[in-house]
Amino acid sequence: MNDKINQLNDLKDTAFTEIKNAQSLVSLDNVRVQFLGKKGKLTEFLRGLGNVDSVERPLIGKAVNDVKKSISDEIDRSFSVTKKLESEKKFHTEKIDYTLPGKVRSLGKAHPIAMVLDEALRIFSYMGFAIKEGPEIESEHYNFEALNIPKLHPARDMQDTFYVDEDILLRTHTSPVQIHVMEKCDPPLRIVAPGKVYRRDSDITHSPMFHQIEGFMIDTDVSFADLKGVLTTFLKELFGEDTALRFRPSFFPFTEPSAEVDITCVMCNGKGCRICKGTGWIEILGAGMIHPEVFKSVGYDYEKYTGFAFGIGVERIAMLKYRIGDIRLFFENDIRFLSQF
């Protein structure tokens, strides 16, 4: 037993000498592995205890653990001292070159959708339209029925909807804001309502979430000519004075008469190309005179008041304005794409 204890003490002395001579953190780690690692000297010593008498084995085992703890504590102490010394040495020897240029941090920019939205709202504000917002989660009443789209109406098939509950949904357009405002305010009204809308549709020109601007004007003598004047001013301001417009008959449940508005193709300037399918025209928005049934749903006198409404897809405008062929680029957050604006 005494031989084993003497071997153990010699091992401890050797380890302490190695620790004392270690001049770096790397050297100390090597000492730790040499004596305490899986193939270290203490581990080899333990393997040699198989032939030791069973009475002496617990005593030698305790002595091994005591030596192991002593070596480990000494390594930790030396590690702490060496680390502090290396930090001080690094502090005194390393110097900062003040002549080197600093790190340039790139500044954020407005997103192209935000840029188009801000520009559109600025134009409408200049024409006297107030900006109103509404909830993105709506009831069927505000999203459909108050806008003359009753249950089982075929127009609901045109708007694939995300339902939260049987009667609660993510709004499919910002037109419900029109109903909210009309319920609280009497004419005259001149409002634009920007915001996010949601539809179950996804491809290079459609997104499950996109942005829309609903606009409407109500008074005692609002006509289709007023609608044409407002939209002509808006689109020429947005796309340029040379932009031509045309109004085509269409159908929307909440307007009568209804129209689709086209502008000259921004890609070919009306000459005809692949984008406009050779027609020289591109559809840009839908509009029309507010349906009397909508006035009835909010208690307006439809014989006294008239009004127009229009809906604009912000992504649609951005894609045309910036010549972008895939709507998904707006939502991928690719800095290479966004930094171009």
pLDDT recorded at residue 203: 77
Residues 60, 196: Cα–Cα separation, whole Å: 76
Q: Average pLDDT of 180-207?
A: 89
Residue 191: closest CA among 178, 172, 173, 176 = 178
The CA–CA distances, whole Å, from 114 to 109, 195, 341 equal 10, 11, 11
Q: In percent, how much of the chain has pLDDT > 90? A: 41
Q: Which two tokens stand for residue 323?
A: 């010549």
Q: CB–CB of 21/78 below 8 Å?
A: no
How far apart (Å, rounded) are the C-alpha atoms in residues 341 and 112? 6
User: Do residues 14 and 20 lie in contact, with contact meaning Cβ atoms separated by under 8 Å?
Assistant: no
Token match 């604006």: residue? 341
Q: Which residue has the tokens 């004007």?
A: 217
State residue 49 phi and psi, 5-degree precision: -90, 5
Q: With both helix axes pointing from N to C terminus, report the angle between 314-321 and 112-126 in degrees, rounded to the nearest 10.
A: 110
Give me the pLDDT at residue 51, please.
Answer: 66
Q: What pLDDT, on the 0 to 100 scale, is given for residue 157?
A: 64
**What does the block give as tokens for 48?**
């040699």
pLDDT at 336: 85
Rama region for 64: left / alpha / beta (φ>0; ψ in -120 to 50; rest) = alpha
Write down the pLDDT at residue 67: 75
pLDDT greater at residue 79 or residue 6: 79
Segments making up each domain of the chain, as ranges: 2-93, 112-338
Residue 67 to residue 8: CA distance in whole angstroms: 7
Each residue's pLDDT tens digit, 5-19: 777 777 777 777 877
Whether 275 shows a pLDDT value over 70: the answer reads yes
10 Å Cβ neighbour count for 17? 11
What confidence category does residue 211 fall into, taking pLDDT thresholds of 50, 70 and 90? Answer: very high
Q: Given this model, what pLDDT does residue 196 score?
A: 94
Q: Are strands 189-198 and 130-131 parallel, antiparallel or unpaired?
A: parallel
Cα 306 from Cα 300, distance rounded (Å): 10
Q: Where does the pLDDT of residue 32 fall: very low under 50, low under 70, confident under 90, or very high at 90 and above?
A: confident
Q: Compute the Cα dihedral for 28, 34, 35, 38 and give only its sign.
A: positive
Q: Which amino acid is at 228?
A: K
Provide CB contacts within 8 A for 321, sequence distance 6+. 116, 238, 239, 266
Is 70 exceeded by the pLDDT of residue 50?
Answer: no
Please state the rounded mean pLDDT for residues 106-128. Answer: 91
Looking at 49-199, list the stretches that DSSP marks H as alpha helix, in order from N- to C-terminal side: 57-93, 112-126, 140-143, 176-184
Residue 4: pLDDT band (50, 70, 90) is low
pLDDT recorded at residue 93: 76
Per-residue confidence (pLDDT) for residue 11, from 0 to 100: 75
Task: List Cβ neighbours of 137 (8 Å cut-off, separation of 6 or more).
Answer: 164, 168, 169, 170, 171
**Which pTM does this prediction carry?**
0.66
Residue 39 has pLDDT above 80, yes or no: no
Mean pLDDT of 87-109: 78
Please enumerate in sequence order all residues whose Cβ is within 8 A of that of 87, keeping only pairs 6 or more positions apart, or say none. none
Copy the structure tokens of residue 140: 């069927």
CATH architecture of the domain with range 112-338: 2-Layer Sandwich (3.30)
Distances (CA, A) of 277 to 28, 260, 272, 285: 75, 17, 7, 18
Calculate the average pLDDT of the chain.
85
- In the chain, the amino acid numbered 116 is V
Give me the pLDDT at residue 159, please. 60
Average pLDDT over residues 296-317: 93
